[in-house]
Amino acid sequence: MDQLMAAEQERKNKVKLAGKTVVPVAFLALAAGAGAVYYTTSSGDPEDTAPQAQSASRPGPLAEVAHATIGDPGDPATWRLPIESYMPTMQQARLVSSTRDELIDQCMDDSGYPQWQPAPDLPSLGGTTLTDWRYGIHDAGLASTRGYHPDAGQQKAYDDAMEAGAVDESGAPDSAVRSCTAKIDGQVPPAQPADIVQRVSGEAFTESEKDPTVVAAFAKWSACMKAKGYDYDKPMDANEDPRFTDPGQVTATEIATAKADIACRDQYNVTRTWFDAESRIQRDKIAKHLDDFKAAAKAAGDAVAKAKAA
């Protein structure tokens, strides 16, 4: 179910809303469960984008590929996929985005449009990391009141920000914004993931659903749900049930379904099985394009360094 939750995660995406010309900056559309799109959440140092050193006991490119990591085993939001070592962190993306906004704003002032302002960054909605809600819901407490919906406070903050940032009354032409954006691109480039990073992330997620261990986990989850009175083949079928997509309505049926969903997920270790499968697939794919991924990590670090120096 696409509830934005994500979005971006900390979504740094800026769009053209109701006639407002805004500056496109880094955002992740890394095909993920439940429409999730998120920044990685390691510390904000440029070094975080560098691949982790691996054991020399495994020869070949795979030995150099970053591993997945687990924070709290019970909280998927704290897990980190291998691909996140080659992406800008959330803190890094925020730093670059805010720096670019300031520089573009100054350029617009200098161009004779002091009233122009960059669109505000949208608050997080739903998942707050790449793995939070990537595989569906996992917080039983939240599900007991919100079902498959994000926290009510998050939803309101997001909706308010969308409404407040919808109209630009400065009269600045698109050409002026494009000119300033191009100028700042040369000083502080966007800290967005490389195309190959986005592509591999999407491919790995899609392929992970077909992994034998995941297929088996899905089958057990489905049987568990059927025993509770719910007929779904896969977890995301429940997550994306059209009955639960209205952002302004959370029904008793949705809450009951979500609670059963999480109970069955936990019983058969579905989320961790899925995460482990995707991690394996990501590592294999990264190893085939390791030089490109190293370059992507370096580019993200360079963008952060330029932002800090600006």
Radius of gyration of the chain (CA): 21
- Structural domain harbouring 303: 33-309
Which pLDDT tens digit goes with each residue over 259-309? 999 999 999 999 999 999 999 999 999 999 999 999 999 999 999 999 999
| 8 A C-beta contact, residue 12 and residue 26 | yes
Of 159, 164, 143, 26, nearest in space to 93 by CA: 26
Interval 65-112: pLDDT, tens:
999 999 999 999 999 999 999 999 888 998 999 999 999 999 999 999
pLDDT at 258 over 70: yes
**Nearest Cα to Cα of residue 117 among 185, 187, 166:** 166
- Judge whether 4 lies within some domain: no
The answer, yes or no, to whether residue 15 has pLDDT greater than 80, is no
Q: Is residue 63 part of a domain?
A: yes
Asked if 21 contacts 2 with a C-beta cutoff of 8 angstroms, the reply is no
Lowest mean pLDDT among 27-31, 89-93, 173-177: 27-31
The domain total for the chain is: 1
Of 17 and 79, which is predicted with more confidence? 79
Q: How confident is the model at residue 159 (pLDDT cuts 50, 70, 90)?
A: confident
* Arithmetic mean of pLDDT, 138-147: 96
**116: how many CB neighbours lie within 10 A of its CB?**
23
Q: Is 161 domain-assigned?
A: yes
- Does the pLDDT value for residue 151 go beyond 80? yes
**Does 20 reside within a domain?**
no
What integer is the mean pLDDT of 248-254? 96
207 within some domain: yes
Which of 76, 30, 8 is CA-nearest to residue 235?
76
Residue 10 lies in a domain: no
Dihedral sign for Cα 5, 10, 14, 17, please.
Answer: positive
- pLDDT value, residue 169: 74
DSSP string, the chain: -----BS---------BTTB------------GGG----B-S-S-GGGGSPPP--TTS-SGGGGSPPPB-SSTT-GGG-B-GGGGGS-BHHHHHHHHHHHHHHHHHHHHHTT-TT--PPPPPPP-B--SSSTTTTS---HHHHHHHTTSPPHHHHHHHHHHHHHTS---S---HHHHHHHHHHHHHHS---PPPHHHHHHHHHHHHHHTTSHHHHHHHHHHHHHHHHTT---SSHHHHHT-GGG--TT---HHHHHHHHHHHHHHHHTTHHHHHHHHHHHHHHHHHHHTHHHHHHHHHHHHHHHHHHHH-
The answer to whether residue 200 sits within a structural domain is yes
Q: What is the pLDDT of residue 167?
A: 63
Q: What is the pLDDT of residue 166?
A: 57
**Does the pLDDT at position 22 exceed 50?**
no
Mean of the pLDDT values across residues 185-202?
94
pLDDT exceeds 80 at position 120? no
- What is the percentage of the chain residues whose pLDDT exceeds 90? 66
Decide if pLDDT at 29 tops 60. Answer: no
Residue 198 belongs to some domain of the structure: yes
